[in-house]
Structure 1
Amino acid sequence: MTYRILVIAPSWIGDCVMTQPLLARLKQRQDHTIIDVYAANWSKAVFSRMPEVNNIITNPFGHGDVKLRARFREGRALSKNHYQEVVVLPGSLKSALVPFFSGIKRRTGFLGESRRGLLNNIHELDEMALPLMVERYAKLAQSPIEALQRPIAYPRLQVNNAQQQQTLQDLQLSTKDAVVFCPGAEYGPAKRWPAEHYADLAQRFIKEGKQIWLIGSQKDHDIAEQINQLSLNQCINLCGKTKIDQAIDLIATAKVVVCNDSGLMHVAAAVGTPVVSVFGSSSPHHTPPLSQKAKIVSLNLDCSPCFERVCPLGHTNCLNQLTPLSVYLAAQELMTSL
C-alpha cells in the first residue's frame, strides 16, 4: 500500500536544504512512500534536486498572509491527494492551518505557536537535546517519545554535468579556477562580512590567477558591486543575474566558496564544494555548514552570538575584526587538503 506524505516546507533557502535528511528518513521509514512538498515557488529549484521528492506543490501564501478563507480552500483542494500524513516544518500557527483544513489524519510537527488543536502528532522541542536545525527536522520522522537516531547524514543536493555546462554557456562563463563569494545575508547586516574584507580576499585570489564570481540575489547586487569596485573591477558580479538553479550549478563548479552564514552556504555544503563560512552574530552550533569540506571562521567574541539583525553594540567587531588573511588561509587549507 502506498503511504503518501505532504511536507510543509520552511521559508528560508538554507532551511529548505536542511530538510533533505528528514525526507530521506521519511522515505526509508516504510516501503512505497511518496513524498510531496508544499513550498514557495522560488524554492522549487532546491527541492527539485532532492530525489526523495515526488512533486512540489506551490504554496501561494506570502510571509505574513493569513487569508483564512483562502487557506481553507487550499486545504480542501489538497485533501483530494489523499495524504496519510503531513509534516509541518515551520513553527507558525499559519503554517498549520492548511494541513488542518485538509483533513489529513496524521499531522506531525513541533508544538510551536499555539498549534495544539491543529496538530495531533506533536513533538515537544528540547533545544538542548537538539541544538542543530537539521536534527530538529530529522526528529519529525520518528515517534515523539523516541530519542533522535544518530548519526544524521549530511544534506545533499543533486547536480549533473549537463546542467552545469548549460548554465556556464548561458552566462558565458569559464570554470577555470573559479572562486565563489556569497556576500549576502538575508537576515541582516550583523551576519555580513564587510565588503572591503571580501575585496581584500578577492585580490589575494586574483593574484593567483583565479577568477571571482559574486553570487546572490538582487538584494545583494549593491554590496557585490562595492566589492567589485574595491577589487578594481576584476570580479564578475552575478548577484541578481542568476536563477536559484543556476546559482546551485555555479557553486557546484567552484574551487571553493567563501560566504556568510546564509542559505547559499548550505547549498555549497550540500553540493560538496569546499566552503569557508564566516560567522558573526549567529551560531555555528545551530546552523553550521554540514560537510566534511567546510571550515568555520569566527572570532568567538564574548558578545557573540547575539542573533541580532543589527549589532546592538554598534561596532560589529565580530565581523569587522575578522581578517581577510584568516579566511584566505582557511580556504587555502581546504583546497590543498582535498
Structure 2
Amino acid sequence: MKYLIVGPSWVGDMVMAQSLFIAIKQQQPDAVIDVLAPAWSGPILQRMPEVRRGIDMPLGHGELQLRTRRKIGQSLKAEGYDQAIVLPNSLKSALIPFWASIPVRTGWRGELRYGLLNDIRVLDKAQRPLMVDRFVALAYPKGAQTSDPLPKPALKVSANSVESVLRRHELHTGRPVLGLCPGAEFGPSKQWPARYYGEVAASMINAGWQVWLFGSEKDRTITNEVIGYLPGPQQAHCFNLAGKTSLAEAVDLLSVPSAVVSNDSGLMHIAAALSRPLVALYGSTTAAHTPPMSDNSQTLWLGLECSPCFKRECPLEHQNCMKKLNPDRVLAALSPQLDAASVIAKGHCTE
C-alpha cells in the first residue's frame, strides 16, 4: 500500500501524527508513507523513520487557490497512491487527494467534504477525546478497534547531528541541562509567567544545572524576560536559543536536556517525542485533548472553573489558570531529575 497523508499545520499536531504513521506500519510493515505538509515540517518528518518523504505544501494555512491545488493534485497522479488520509477537517485539505485521483480518500466528516472523501468517518468526540486517537483511528477500517495502548511518537536524532549543533552554538554538557520552552504560538493564554520560569531557572542553576531557553524569534521577548529575572552571576549558565536555531537544530538540541519544562506547545510535543523527562504546564487548554505522549512526562493543571477556555487570550483578563500555578509545584515535579543528576552536578556549582 502506498499512502499520501495530508498533514496538519501545527508543530504539535505534526508530531502527534507520527502515531498514525506507526499504526499504519504496525499493520503493514511494507507500507510507503508520504506526507503532504508545510515546508517547515521537513525537519520533523525527516526524524520519523516511518515516513519515506515529505512533500512541500506551498500554500499557507487558510489559502484556497484552487488552481494551485489542482496542479499539485495532478502532479501527484503518477505516484499511484492507493489511499489518502486527510488529517485537517477543512474542505480545501481534501481537494488535492481528489484531484490526484487517489482511489480511497479517508478522513473525518468536516466541511461538506462528501464526494471529495469517499471513506468518511463520523467522529464521536466523547469516545475519542484525544487528538492522537482521532489520528490513529484513520489507520484502521471504519468501525474497527484501534491499538491499545496508542503508539507514541518517537523522533529519531543522530548523535553526529547533535554534536555538530552543540559545537555550532558553543554549548556544553558539563552541567546537566534544563530545557525551558516559555513561548506558545497559539497565544499568551498558554504562557506560564516569565517570572515563574525565572524562579525555576534560578533554583536549578543554584543546584548545579545550566538552562537552555528554546523558542522562535517571536519568543525572544519572553526568553529575554526570563533571563532578566536571574541574578547576574547565574546568567552565565543560561543560554537563550530562541530565534537562533532552525527547527532541525531545536529538535536535535531538545534531545539533550535531563529535564524540560514547557507550556502546551509544539516544543512540548517534540520534547515528549524525544523521551525527555518533561513537566508540561496547562492553563487555557487541557491534557485531556492533547497530552504529551510519553511515559516520563507530568502534566500540571489547576482545573479552575473557568478553564479550559481554549482562548488565545484570557477572556477574564486575569490568567489565574497560569498565575496560580506556582513555581514550587514545578520544582517538586523536577525533584526526581534533580536527584538523578546530583552526581553529574556535584563539583560544577560555582554559586
Partner of 2:195: 196
Contact 2:22–2:151 (Cα < 8 Å) also in 1: no
Structure 2 equivalent of residue 298 of structure 1 = 301
Q: How does 1:70-89 map to 2 (within 5 A)?
A: 70-89=68-87
CA shift for structure 1 position 336: 3.7
**TM-score where L is the length of structure 2:** 0.93
What is the RMSD computed on CA atoms of the aligned residues? 1.3
Asked if 2 retains the 8 angstrom alpha-carbon contact of 1:183 and 1:193, the reply is yes
Output the amino acid matched with 2:187: G
1:28 paired residue number: 26
CA distance in 1, matches of 2:115, 2:198: 52
The question of whether the paired residues in 1 share the 8 Å contact of 2:5 and 2:85 is answered with yes
Alignment of 1:25-174 (within 5 A): 25-30=23-28, 32-174=30-172
Equivalent residue, structure 2, for 1:185 = 184
The letter of the residue matching 2:140 is Q
Unaligned stretches of 5+ residues in structure 1: none
Is 2:307 aligned against 1:307? Answer: no
* Partner Cα distance (1:134, 1:294) in 2: 16
Q: Which moved more, 1:291-300 or 1:28-37?
A: 28-37
Q: How many residue pairs are counted as aligned between the two chains?
A: 336
Identity %: 43
Change (3 A) 1:72 1:49: same
1:220: how far off?
A: 0.5
Aligned residue among 326, 331, 334 for 1:331: 334
| Superposition deviation, residue 335 in structure 1 | 4.8
1:275 corresponding residue in structure 2? 278
Residue in 2 aligned with 1:221? Answer: 220
CA distance in 2, matches of 1:252, 1:304: 31
> Of residues 224, 238, 243 in structure 2, which corresponds to 1:240?
243
Question: Who is 1:212 aligned against?
Answer: 211
1:19 Cα deviation from its structure 2 partner: 1.0
Query: Which whole-Å CA distance do the structure 2 matches of 1:101 and 1:321 have between them?
Result: 51
Q: Distance in 1 between matches of 2:240 and 2:178?
A: 12
Which residue does the alignment assign to 1:255? 258
Q: Which runs of 4+ in 1 moved over 6 A?
A: none
Distance 2:305 2:63 in 1: 38
Name the stretch that deviates more: 273-282 or 226-235: 226-235
In the alignment, the residues of structure 2 paired with residue 48 and residue 179 of structure 1 have an alpha-carbon distance, to the nearest angstrom, of 25
1:173-231 C-alpha deviation (Å, 9 max, x unpaired): 01231111000111111100011111111111111121111101111111111111122
The Cα of 1:31 is off from its aligned counterpart by 5.1
Amino acid in the other structure paired with 1:293: N
Given that residues 295 and 334 in structure 1 are in contact (C-alpha distance below 8 angstroms), is that contact kept between their aligned partners in structure 2?
no
* In structure 1, distance between residues paired with 2:296 and 2:338: 9
Aligned AA (2:100): S
Unaligned runs of at least 5 residues, structure 2 = 342-351
CA deviation digits over 1:123-143, x for unaligned, max 9?
A: 111111111111000000011
Kept in 2, the 8 Å contact 1:279–1:298? The answer is yes
Letter in 2 for 1:138: V
Q: 3-state SS of the aligned residue for 1:152?
A: coil
